[in-house]
Amino acid sequence: MIEKLSKGYERFRNGYFQRNRKRLEQLADKQTPEIAMISCCDSRVDPGILFDVEPGDIFVIRNVANLVPPFETKGDYHGTSAALQFAVTCLQVRQVMVLGHANCGGIRTLMESDDTIQVDGFIDSWMNLAAAAKKEVLARDDLDTQEQRIDACEKTAVGHSLSNLMTYPWIRERVDTGSLNLVGCYYDLRNGELIVLDEINKA
């Protein structure tokens, strides 16, 4: 373990853990988060810090570019789907949030690619999930620069992920009955602004 992590763990173990030991011991037996969040694995976007929450408050699902694959049972994108199923059907979360962010490397790669998917291109294959968002952005005539198009795609992809969430039968059922709502947000790490992009709540 590198020295920075080792020292950080010691501070946690001797500080935060000791101050919150009772709560953490309770969490060891059961977690009851009300929110599941699909967030990017980008090292600059930490949901726990961004929303100033405690352990056990948010069930975080992290992947490249915070994408939600559509419901299917024969493909290769089951990591995120499995985590979603656990959060919604087992933990009974009340909200699922898709959290996009500025300067996303995955979206930039998608926007700068020629749409060729390499045989061993794990990133290419995964980012192809956002191909429809890219197509939508490239069809717009109000974006003058590549940076504007990338910014727009970061936000548009969040909307497409919300739509994909509704393809899961156990998510749609709960949204339709009002026990679950979906929300898409965008964090601009350049100025700290958080924007609500869209919300699906049929309650």
Tens digit of each residue's pLDDT (9 = 90 or more) over 3-14: 999 999 999 999
Is residue 119 predicted with pLDDT exceeding 80?
Answer: no
What type of residue is 149?
Answer: R
* Cα–Cα nearest to 170, from 98, 77, 85, 79: 85
- CA separation for the pair 108, 130 (Å, rounded): 11
For residues 120-139, give the mean pLDDT: 92
Strand pairing of 95-101 and 35-40?
parallel
34-39 mean pLDDT:
98
The model's confidence at residue 118, banded by pLDDT at 50, 70 and 90, is confident
Pairing label, strands 181-188, 193-200:
antiparallel
> If we measure between CA atoms, which residue out of 16, 56, 21 comes closest to residue 36?
56
- For residues 105-142, b (16+ Cβ closer than 10 Å) or e, as one string? ebbbbbbebeeeeeeeeebbebbbbbeebbebbeeeee
Q: How confident is the model at residue 201 (pLDDT cuts 50, 70, 90)?
A: confident
pTM of the model: 0.93
Please give the CATH topology (third level) of the domain spanning 35-200.
Beta-carbonic Anhydrase; Chain A (3.40.1050)
- Which amino acid is residue 64, in one-letter code? V
DSSP 94: S
**Average pLDDT over the chain, rounded to an integer:** 94
| Nearest to 161, CA basis, from 78, 66, 81 | 66
Q: Is the pLDDT of residue 203 over 60?
A: no
Per-residue pLDDT tens over the stretch 43-94: 999 999 999 999 999 999 999 999 999 998 887 768 999 999 999 999 999 9
- At residue 122, the pLDDT reads 87
Ordered by start, the domain boundaries in the chain are 1-30, 35-200
The β-bridge relationship of strands 95-101 and 193-200 is: unpaired
Instruction: Examine the pLDDT at 202 and tell me if it is beyond 70.
Output: no
pLDDT attached to residue 36: 98
Helical ranges in 34-145 per DSSP H:
47-50, 78-85, 105-112, 122-127, 131-138
